[in-house]
Amino acid sequence: MESFLKETLSYLPQNDLKIIEKAHFYAECAHAYQVRASGENYFSHCIMVAKNLAELKIDAATISAALLHDVLEDTLATEQELIKEFGEEIVNLVKGVTKLSKYKFDDEITAQAENWRKMLLAVVKDIRVIIIKLADRLHNMRTLSFLPVEKQKIIASESLNLYAPFAHRLGIYKWKSEIEDVAFKTLQPEQYNFIRTQWQKRDESNLENLISVENQIKNKIVELKIPFRITARPKNLYGIYKKMQRQNKPFTEIQDLFGLRIITDTVENCYAILGMINANFNLLDGSFTDYINLPKENMYQSLHLTVVSNSNAIVEIQIRTEEMNQRCEYGVAAHWRYKRKVESCEKDDNKNKHTESNLDWLKQFLEYQKEHNEPGEFLKSLRTECSFEQIFVFTPKRKVIKLPLGATALDFAYAVHSDIGDSFMGAKINFKMGTIDTELKTGDICEILTRKNSRPTSGWLEFAITPHARARIRKFLKEQIKKH
C-alpha cells in the first residue's frame, strides 16, 4: 500500500489519500480468495487499473472507484454497504462499470449491446465511468495471453471495434494505440508479425533519417529564439496496417513510419515553426492539415505536415503547444488532472462546460438510438460514431460539416438538417452532379438538392453510415408502417 501511494499518487494532497487507503483495504479483503487466469491474486488487477488511472493524474474518487470496480460484480459486497462506506459519488462510478450480470440475454450480441447501453447512460452523467472502463480494458489486454484462445479473440475483437475507437473519441491516444496493437496481434498474428519484422529491418535506417531531419529543424528553430522541444515517435503497428489498407500499398511503400513532434509554448510560435519548415523543406503535396484552427471533436489540436528531406527521407511532423500535447496524451481525462492551485469558480465553470460539450455527441447518439432496440444496429452505430477518422466538407456558404470517413452525400444532407435529409433528391459535389452514395472527402463542397415529395426508403439505409442519418430514416419508415 505504501509503495502504491508513493509511486503513483504523489500528485494528490494528503487528505485525498485517506479514501484511497480505505478503498484499497476494502477491495483487497473482498477479493482475498479470488485468483486471475494468470495465477495472480485478483486484487493485483484492481491495483493495475488504479495505476493506469494515476498515470493520467486523475482525482481520488476515480482512483478509489477503480480499486473497487469489480466488487459489486464479483464479490458479496452490496450497493447499500458501499454507499455507507464510500458515498454515492464513488458508488455511482462503480455501478457505471458493472455489467448486467444478473440479467439473462438471448445471445452474446444482445448482452454486449445492453451492457454498452447501460454504461453509456452512466457516462453521460459522469465521463469518468468510461475512463475507468478503458483503464480496466487496457490491463485486461496486457494479460490477455493467459486466457483460452477463443476468449482472447472475443475480447480482442470488442476491444478493437469499440474500446480503442472510444479511447480515440476521447483523445486518449496512448491507450488507444496499445489496445489496437494487442488486439491486432491476437486477431491477425501473421500480418502483425510480418509488419513487426519489416518495421524492425527498417528501424535503423529510419532512425538515421529521422535524426538528420531533427537536427536540421533544431538548428533552424534555435535561430527563431523561441522555446521548443522535439520528440520522436514510431507509429503503432495497427496504424501502419490500416494505412496500407487505406492506400492499397505494400509495407515497402509506407514511408513515414516515424514522426517528429515539435512542442512549443504558444499558438503563435506553432505557426512560426510552420513557416520556418515551409521555407526550408519540401512539403509532400496534400499533407498539411491545420487541426489548431479546426480542432477535432475530441479536443485534439495540432499542425500536421509531411516533409521530404535532402536525402529523400519522408518524415511526418506535428507541431503543437504543451497544453495541446497534454490533451493529445490524456484527452478528456486531462480535465481531472489535479491542480495544485485552487481554481476560481469561473474557471471551474468553464472547465465543466467544456467537458459537458465534449459529451454532446454521446447524448445525441443515445437520443438517436432511444427508439431502436435492435442490438446489432446499436453496436454498428456505436462503432461508426466512435471510429473517429474525420472528414471536413463544406456547404456552398462555406460552413464546415464534420463527418466520419466514408460518409456519403446522404449523410451530409442529414448532417445539415434532418428535413433536408428526408427530402433528399440529389447532390452537387464540387459543382458536379453526384449520387446518393457518393463518398465525400475533406475539402469537398457539397450542395444538397431537395424535392417536396421525396421521402426516405428502406434502400437509403444502404447508403447512410452516420447514426443520425440511419436513426432518422428508420424513424420515418417505422412511422409509415404505423400509418398503414
Domain ranges within the chain, ordered by starting residue: 2-171, 189-332, 360-483
Query: Strand 314-321 relative to strand 258-264: parallel, antiparallel, unpaired?
Result: parallel
pLDDT given for residue 146 in this prediction = 94
Q: Are 176 and 164 in contact (CB under 8 A)?
A: yes
Opening angle at CA 17, ends 14 and 19, nearest 5: 135
Residue 74 burial (10 A CB sphere; 0-12, 13-18, 19+): middle
Residue 261 pairs in a beta bridge with 231, 318
Query: Angle 43-54/128-142 helices, nearest 10 degrees?
Result: 120
Distance CA 417, CA 123 (A): 27
How far apart are the C-alpha atoms of 303 and 288, rounded to whole Å? Answer: 7
Within this chain, domains 2-171 and 360-483 share the same CATH topology: no
The count of C-alpha atoms lying within 13 angstroms of the C-alpha of 293, restricted to the half-sphere facing its C-beta, is 9
More confident residue, 3 or 156: 156
Q: What is the pLDDT of residue 338?
A: 34
Q: Dig out the grid coordinates for 157 from the structure.
A: 475483437
pLDDT digits (tens, 9 = 90+) for 6-47: 766 778 888 888 999 999 999 999 999 999 998 999 999 999
Looking at residue 402, what is its pLDDT? 84
Query: Where is average pLDDT lowest: 40-54, 202-216, 218-232?
Result: 202-216
Average pLDDT, the chain: 85
pLDDT at 398: 87
Residues 180 and 236 sit within 8 Å (Cβ to Cβ): yes
Q: Of these residues, 55, 73, 85, 89, which one is catalytic?
A: 73
Please report, for the chain, how many H helices and E strands are present, in that order. Answer: 22, 11
- Sign of the Cα torsion 428, 429, 433, 437 reads negative
CATH topology of domain 360-483: Ubiquitin-like (UB roll) (3.10.20)
**Per-residue model confidence as pLDDT tens digits over 178-199:** 999 999 999 999 999 999 998 8
Give the pLDDT confidence score for residue 67 in this predicted structure.
96
Q: Which CATH class is domain 189-332?
A: alpha beta
CA separation (Å) from 195 to 191, 192, 203, 241, 415? 6, 5, 12, 8, 38
Phi-psi region of 196 (alpha: psi -120 to 50; beta: other; left: phi over 0): alpha
As a residue count, the chain comes to 484
Crossing angle of helices 360-369 and 467-483, in 10° steps, is 20
Q: List CB contacts of 299: < 8 A, sequence separation 6 or more.
A: 171, 327, 331, 332, 358
Percentage, residues of the chain above pLDDT 70: 89
Q: Which of 74, 81, 85, 323 is catalytic?
A: 74
Closest of 479, 472, 456 to residue 367, by C-alpha: 472
Closest CA to 134 of 184, 94, 179: 179
Pair type for strands 258-264 and 228-234: antiparallel
**Which conformational region is residue 250 in: left (phi greater than 0), alpha (psi within -120 to 50 degrees), or beta?**
beta
Residue 449: enclosing H or E segment and its boundaries? strand 446-450
* Cell numbers representing residue 319 in the block: 507541431
Judged against a pLDDT cut of 90, whether residue 286 lies above it is answered with no
Question: Which helix (H) or strand (E) covers residue 263, if one does?
Answer: strand 258-264
Does residue 94 have a pLDDT over 90? yes
Percent of the chain with pLDDT over 90: 48
Question: Which of 144-153, 243-252, 300-309 shows the highest mean pLDDT?
Answer: 144-153
Instruction: Write down the pLDDT at residue 347.
Output: 43
- Mind listing the pLDDT tens digit for each residue in 329-359? 777 665 544 333 334 334 444 444 444 455 6
Report, at the CATH architecture level, how domain 2-171 is classified: Orthogonal Bundle (1.10)
| DSSP of 147-172 | S-HHHHHHHHHHIIIIIHHHHHHTT-
* pLDDT tens-digit map of 437-480: 999 998 899 999 999 889 999 999 999 998 889 988 988 998 88
CA distance 251 to 202: 11
d(CA 467, CA 263): 36
pLDDT of 173 reads 84
- Residue 96 pLDDT exceeds 50: yes
Nearest C-alpha neighbor of 26 from the set 88, 83, 98: 83
Q: What is the pLDDT of residues 392-441, one digit of tens each?
A: 899 999 888 888 888 999 999 999 999 999 999 999 999 999 999 999 99
User: For the whole model, what pTM was predicted?
Assistant: 0.76
Nearest-angstrom CA–CA distance, 234 and 222 = 25
73 classed as catalytic: yes
